[in-house]
Amino acid sequence: MGAPLLPWRQVGAEDRQGAKDAYFAHVAAFNGKIEELARQHERDAEQVAQRRRRVNAHAEVRLPWLSAVFMYEGNTFHSVTIV
């Protein structure tokens, strides 16, 4: 048969194939989890980018108003920087 696994049992081709099948099933499940995490990361990154675009668009709309407020009647603030 094959090399002894235990003194009373031999490792055969079926044992090897069963171990390979179990290993590859484990690897496939692990890779599936990694791929799902990567997809979730991409979705989260896109949500962050969308929020950043909305915030920047809002800041561009509000910048003239904020500038007018801080320039009003000699206020010590002379400019506003939105980051």
* Predicted confidence (pLDDT) per residue in 25-52, tens digit: 999 999 999 999 999 999 999 999 999 9
Residues 6 or more apart whose CB falls under 8 angstroms from that of 35 comprise: none
Q: For 59-77, how does the pLDDT look when each residue is reduced to its tens digit (9 = 90+)?
A: 888 777 766 766 655 555 5
pLDDT of residue 61: 80
Residue matched to tokens 């962050």: 48
pLDDT of residue 5: 59
**pTM of the entire structure?**
0.54
Residue matched to tokens 């989890």: 33
Average pLDDT over residues 50-61: 89
